[in-house]
Chain A
Amino acid sequence: MTFGSGAMTNSINEIPDSKVLFIIGSNPTEAHPIIGTKMKQAVARGAKVVAVDPRRTEMADVADVWLRLRPGTDIALINGIMNIILANGWEDKKFIAERTEGFDQLRAQVAKFPPEVVSKITGVPVDQLIEAARIYATAESAQIFYTLGITEHIYGTDNVMILADLSMLTGNVGKENSGVNPLRGQNNVQGACDMGALPDVLPGYQKVTSPTARAKFEAAWDVPIKSESGLMLPDMIEAAFDHEVRAMYIMGEDPVLTDADANHVREALETLDFLVVQNIFLSETAKLADVVLPAGSFAEKDGTFTNTERRVQRVNKAIEPIGQARADWQIICDLATRMGYPFAYASPADVMQEIASLTPQYAGITFERLGRKGLQWPVPDAEHPGTKFLHEGKFARGKGLFMAIEYQVPDEPPDEEYPLLLSTGRRLSHYNISTRYSEALDSYAPEELAELNPEDAERLGIKDGERVKVASRRGALETKVRITDRVLPGMLWMSFHYKESPANVLTNAASDKVTKTYEYKVCGVKVSKVI
C-alpha cells in the first residue's frame, strides 16, 4: 500500500547475508522453518537481530535485543522507535528527500511518542527501545520480517504501514538485504491473491472498479464483469447469516476450523440453501455440505504455487488421483461447462498461457520456463529473468508515502470476566489443519499444549500437563497446558491445529477495516482446571 504492492520485497536466499534482521510478530523457526534456518545462518555470520514478540520464540532467544511488548501495542512501539531515530538524527535524509512524500505528517505524529511514554504503553524498557532503534537505523542494510502477529489485528493494515514508514525513514528498502518482508502464511496465498481470488481485484491486482481492467477481461472472456467489489469472507459469513447469500462453493478451505468465532461460522453455513465443498478430506466444513466433491491432492496434479518471495514454481503430478478423486482444476472446468460456459483447457499449462496473457506480472511465464528453478515475478516478458527484489530505485506507486499512524487498542482486551489474553499461532510440527492427517506428524504431536505462564498457573492452581477449560464470550474448549515463561503473565497461547481443541471457537471475529483479517491475536478468555 505504502509502496504500492503487497509481497515480500526481497528474496529468501538474501537472508543469510543480512546485516540486521528486524523480526516482528513472526516466529519463523516454527511457522516458516526454512526461512528460520536462513535467519540462523545470518546470525552465525554475524547479523544482528531485533526480535519483537510478547512470546519467547527461538529468534527472541538468539536476538541481540528482544522487545517483549504487550500484545497489540506494536504501533506505539514502532512510533517510539521512529521517535528515537529522529531524535538521534539516524534517519536517511537523502532517501526521504528523493524517494518519499508525507514526511512532515509522520514527524508530527511520531513526536507524540517519546520513549518514556512508549515504554509505559508497551512494557519495554527505554534502553531496549534505544538499542533496537540504533541497531536497525545505523545498519548498512536491514530487513524487516513480519507475519500474522502484525496482520491479525483489527489495525493490521496500520501495523503494516507503520513498518513501511520505519523502513523508508532509514532508507532500508529497495536494495539487496534491505526491505519489508511479509512471510506469507500458506503455500499459495501469494498466488491466490495474484490470481485475483479476491473480491476487489482481477488477476494481477487489476481493480474490478477500473473500466480498462474490466474491458481487457471482458474482451478475453466475452462476458460482462461486475464493476462493484464483491464480498470478503467475513462479509460472506454475515450475508449467509442474513440470507443474502444463499449458496456457497468452497474449495480447499475449512472455515469452520480456521475462521475466528467458529461457532458463528458454523451457524451461518448451516443457514445456506446450498453448500458445495470440494476437499481432499471430509473437513468440519464439508460435513455441513449438501454436496462434497473429492479433490486430488497436490501430488495428483500439475500446476504452480507462488511462494512468499514471489517465486512461481511447478507442482508436478506424481500419482493418479486416489479413488475417483479429480484434480480441482478439472472439477472447476467440468462445472463451468455444465453451467453453460465451456472451460476447454487441456492442461494447467494451458491455463497458465491465459494467465500470462492477462496478468502483467506473469506475462513472461510458461511451464517450460519455470522448469526446476521457477521464476520470481514480475516477469514482464518471455526473456525477463525474474525479479530478485522489489522497489529498486522506484516504488511501484512512484514515491513512497509516509503514513502517520495513530495508536489503537485491540477490540477485546482482557477484562475482569475474561482476565487472560488469548493469542494464537502455529507450531513447527503441524501446518494449519491438514498435517493432522499425517500419521507420522500426528503421532509426534498428537494434542494441543496451551502455554500458560507459571505465575498464572500458580494462581489458578494448575500444574504442567493438566487439562483446563478455556472459555471466551463465544465458546469454550478443553486442552492440556504447558507451564512456561515463553508467554507473559496474563497470557494464554494456543495453536489452531487441533479440532479436539479448536481454538477458533474462542477467537474474536472483529476484523481489520481494510483487509477484513480477523483479530486472531488478541481476545479475552478465562481458564479453569478440569476436575
Chain B
Amino acid sequence: MEWITLTIDGRTVTVPKGTTVLEACRMNEIPIPTLCHDPELSSYGSCRLCIVEIEGMRNLPPSCVTQATQGMVVRTQTTKVRDSRKTILELLVANHPLDCMTCQKMGDCDLAKYAYEYRVTGELFKGGERRHLPLDDSNPFILRDANKCILCGKCVRACEEVQGRSVLDFSFRGFHAQVGPAFNLPYSESECVFCGSCVSVCPVGALTEKKMVGQGRPWEVEKVQTTCPFCGTGCNFDLNVKDGKVIGVTSNPEAPVNGKALCVKGRFGMDLIHNSERLTTPLIKKDGEFVEATWDEAMDLVAQKLGEVKQEHGADAISVLSSARCTNEENFLMQKLARAVIGTNNIDHCART
C-alpha cells in the first residue's frame, strides 16, 4: 500500500493513498462535522459542513470528497472555517422546526449536536419563510416529517445504492426542493417495501420508527445486538430495550452480513415479542380444555408420560421435533435428549421449509 503524509492543523499524519481528507481527519481523531456523509454510501458532498481550508485551493473545499495528497496542508478549525460552518448550520436551523423537546430524535440528532457545538442561535435568519409540508403518517412503520428534512440525501442514496429500489429522490428546485417518493405520494402509495434503510441513515427527525415514538429517549434505551429470527440471511441488529421491554429495532452498523440494511420484518416486526397472545404459563389439557399449571406440574407430567410410552412401546414410539427457529444449543440439546435420554433417533425438524 502506498502511503502519503500531510499536515492537518499542524499535525503531521500519514494515511493510505486514496484516503479523503475527512477520513484522514477521522483516522486521527480530528473532529469534522458531517450530515450527508455515510461510509456505506457514495460520497455526496452536499451538506458542506465538512469544509476545511487547504493551502493552494480556492474556496473552502469539502473534506469528504477531497482526496488527501502528499504534502497537503489542511486547517480544520480556523475562524473562517468555523464561521462558515456556523452560517450553514444557521441556514439549516432557519428552515427546521424547533420542536426538539417533543421530537423523537432528541438526543440522537446530528443537527442538534452540531448546532449546539457551534453555538447556533436561530436568530440570524429569524422570520424567514419555512416549509409547511404535510406529515406522512400513511403506513404503520415510518413517520415522515418533510419539514424536518435537511436534504442530506442519505435516504435517497440508501434506497438506491443499498436497497436497489430508488423509491426516493429529490423533487422541485431551490428552496422548495424536497425528498420523497415519486409525485411526493405518501409512502404507502409508493413502491416502498418498508425496509427502513432510509430511517436508519436519517440524521434528523425527518424519518423515524413510528412504533418507537414516545417509547423512550436514547439515553434511557439499552441496545442489545442480536441475530434476526426470521429468514436464513442472518442479519444483525440492535434490540432497543427500555424498562425490560423491547421497544423497537435499530440498525447496527457493525452487523457483519447486512450492515445497516434490514428488511421490513427484521426492522419492524419485533413487536411480536410483546404480543398479548404470548403464552405465559404452562397449560395442561383437562377434559378438552387447557388449564393453567405450574412448571412442576407440567414438567412432571411430561416426564411421566414420556417415560410410560417408552416403557410400554419402546423409545422409538416417541418422536421429537426440533426447530429451525431455535438456537444451535437448543437443537443440540434436543437431539441429545432424543438420543441419550429417550434413546431414539426419531428427531427431525422442518429442515425443508
Contacts and interface: CB of A to CB of B under 8 A. Distances in A.
- A–B touching in complex (CB under 8 Å): yes
- Interface size grouping (class) on chain B: 35 or more
Contact of A255 (B244, B316, B350): B350
B347 A198 contact: yes
A237 to B, nearest CB: 9
A274 B306 contact: yes
B327 A291 contact: no
Interface in B293-344: 293, 295, 298-303, 305-307, 309, 312-313, 315-344
Contacts of A476: none
B233 A281 contact: no
Contact of A197 (B224, B303, B331): B331
B134 interface: no
Contacts of B312: 246
A28 to B, nearest CB: 9
Given A32-B233, A339-B306, A197 B285 contact: no
Contact of B285 (A33, A224, A289, A439): A289
Interface string B266-301: 001111111101111111110000100101001111
A246 B317 contact: yes
B80 interface: no
A313 B282 contact: no
A312 interface: yes
Interface in B230-248: 230-236, 239, 241, 244-246
Nearest to B243: A319
Nearest to B268: A440
Given A43-B164, A291-B301, A355 B329 contact: yes
Contacts of B277: 281-282, 437
Nearest to A511: B352
Given A13-B257, A221-B340, A280 B263 contact: no
Contacts of B234: 12, 187, 305-309, 311, 313, 374
Given A148-B353, A197-B348, A253-B323, A184 B256 contact: no
A303 B328 contact: yes
- Main SS of chain B's interface residues? mixed
Contacts of A338: 299-300, 302-303
Contacts of A314: 225-227
A295 B321 contact: no
**Residue of B163, B234, B295 with most partner-chain A CB within 10 A:** B234
B162 interface: yes
Interface of B: 139-141, 161-165, 193-195, 210-211, 222, 224-236, 239, 241, 244-246, 254, 256-258, 261-265, 268-275, 277-285, 290, 293, 295, 298-303, 305-307, 309, 312-313, 315-353
A320 B244 contact: yes
A324 B280 contact: yes
Given A274-B306, A293-B282, A315-B327, A431 B231 contact: yes
A520 B233 CA distance: 22
A326 interface: yes
Given A44-B161, A434-B272, A251 B323 contact: yes
B265 A307 contact: no
Nearest to A322: B278
Given A255-B350, A299-B239, 7 more contacts: A249-B319, A305-B327, A311-B257, A313-B234, A314-B225, A318-B226, A335-B302
